[in-house]
Amino acid sequence: MSSRPDPQDNLAIVAKLLEQLPAARPQLVVLPEAFSCFGAGDRAQLAMAEPYKDGEVQKQLAALAKKHEVYLVGGTLPVDAGERFSAASILFGPDGAILNRYDKIHLFDVDVADNTKEYRESKWTQPGSKVVTTETDFGVVGMAVCYDLRFPELFRALRQAGSQIIVLPSAFTQVTGKAHWHALVRARAIEQQVFIVAPGQVGEHANGRETFGHSIIVSPWGEILAEQELDEGVVSVSVDVADIEPIRKQMPVAQQNQFEVVQKT
Inter-residue contact 227 to 235 (CB < 8 Å): yes
| Chain centre to alpha carbon of residue 207 | 22
Cα(165)–Cα(74) distance, integer angstroms:
16
Q: Is 245 a catalytic residue?
A: no
Cβ–Cβ under 8 Å, residues 7 and 48: yes
Name, in order, each residue with C-beta under 8 angstroms of 148's C-beta and a sequence gap of 6 or more: 104, 105, 106, 154, 155, 168
Is 53 noted as a catalytic residue in this protein?
Answer: no
Output phi, psi for 190, to 5 deg: -65, -45
Burial class (CB in 10 A: 0-12, 13-18, 19+), 240: exposed
Rounded Cα distance between 200 and 195, Å, is: 16
Indicate which residue of 37, 50, 121, 146 is catalytic.
146
204 belongs to the catalytic site: no
Render the burial of 51-79: b for 16+ CB within 10 Å, e for the rest.
eeeebebbebbbebbbebebbbbbbbbbb
Among 37, 50, 104, 121, which one carries the catalytic annotation?
Answer: 104
How far apart (Å, rounded) are the C-alpha atoms in residues 6 and 4? 6
Q: Which of 33, 50, 121, 210 is catalytic?
A: 33
DSSP sequence for 154-219: HHHHHHHTT-SEEE--B--BHHHIIIIIHHHHHHHHHHHT-EEEE-B-EEE-TTS-EEE--EEEE-
On the 0-12 / 13-18 / 19+ scale of CB atoms within 10 A, 151 is middle
Task: List residues with catalytic annotation.
Answer: 33, 104, 146
